[in-house]
A and B are shown apart, each in its own frame.
Chain A
Amino acid sequence: MIEDLYAQLPHAGAMCLLDRIEHWDDSALVATTRRHRDVAHPLRQQGRLHALAGLEYAAQACALHGVLLGRLDSAQTAGGNTVVATVQLLECASGDLDRAGVELRAEVRCVLRQSHSAIYESRVSDGEGWLLTASLGLMLSSVN
């Protein structure tokens, strides 16, 4: 199922970071992955997967939520062209993501959605605790 959703996003290959949608409704989505400890992770830089890279997990969860909402209501802007424009506040753990537990969990909740923008609260965690929390301002516009 998640492959069908990613097909509506501009991401491809290893940059489709999330494996599975655990839950979603009209205001929230929870997705998980187990590939964050992959040594060939596409966001790894200089041998590290910094906790701030978790922002991409949150952003993709928001984009997937947008796709699902678009299926519910064709009048809504789908998430296929979702980009993060602003982050009001982000807090992250000082450890790297690839040292986190076996499964990462990205939880996002939409607090405001308009025709061309949205605000989401997000949280990335593992079995041990939170790794990143962020408030994301999204632009629902074309990347082309």
Chain B
Amino acid sequence: MVSEALEFHLKIDLPSSCIEGHFPGRPLVPGAALCAALAQELELRLRRPVVGVAKLRFSAPVDPNAELAITAQQRSESQWRLRVAAAGQESFRGLFNLGEAQ
């Protein structure tokens, strides 16, 4: 298998109701929203569904206006390691598991 790698930037576009409610006075991107945004981006690029994640670590809060730098490295035929940094600081890492193309 030839291991592939991707690097891209992402700005998460959330409804105002999310930003206002999570949390009032200190808006932060919900970890679930970050995971979902990453999964949707991977699905678009790889044309395969994300069916799980493993060894996720949320290491720093993500500001809703942050531009995220994503590094994705293929580890196996069905798994990619993603690392997310905002303003040079790692905020998230995890392994995304992919299902069969639909």
A binds B: yes
Report the Cα distance A56→B51, complex, angstroms: 17
State how many angstroms separate the Cβ of B68 from the closest Cβ of chain A. 13
Residues of A8-23 whose CB lies within 8 A of B: 10-16
Report the Cα distance A89→B36, complex, angstroms: 15
State how many angstroms separate the Cβ of B21 from the closest Cβ of chain A. 3
Residues of A within 8 A of B17 (CB): 13-15, 40, 42
Report the Cα distance A40→B16, complex, angstroms: 10
Report the Cα distance A144→B25, complex, angstroms: 10
Known: A88-B55, A89-B53. 8 other contacts (CB 8 A): A10-B26, A11-B22, A12-B23, A15-B21, A43-B33, A46-B40, A86-B57, A143-B26
Residues of A79-138 whose CB lies within 8 A of B: 83-94
Majority-rule SS of A interface residues: mixed
Report the Cα distance A83→B54, complex, angstroms: 18
Total number of residue pairs linking A and B with CB closer than 8 Å: 119
Q: Which of B33, B40, B50, B56 contacts A86 (CB 8 A)?
A: B56
B86, CB-defined interface residue at 8 Å: no
Q: Are B21 and A14 in contact (CB under 8 A)?
A: yes
Residues of A within 8 A of B88 (CB): none
Q: Are B56 and A90 in contact (CB under 8 A)?
A: yes
Residues of B within 8 A of A92 (CB): 50-52
Chain A contact-residue range equals 35 or more
B102, CB-defined interface residue at 8 Å: yes
Residues of A within 8 A of B102 (CB): 94
Mask, B25-37, CB within 8 Å of A = 1, is 0101011110111
Residues of B within 8 A of A40 (CB): 15, 17
Residue in A40, A52, A144 whose Cβ sees the most chain B Cβ within 10 Å = A52
Q: Are A52 and B56 in contact (CB under 8 A)?
A: no
State how many angstroms separate the Cβ of B22 from the closest Cβ of chain A. 5
Q: Are B23 and A85 in contact (CB under 8 A)?
A: no
A54, CB-defined interface residue at 8 Å: yes
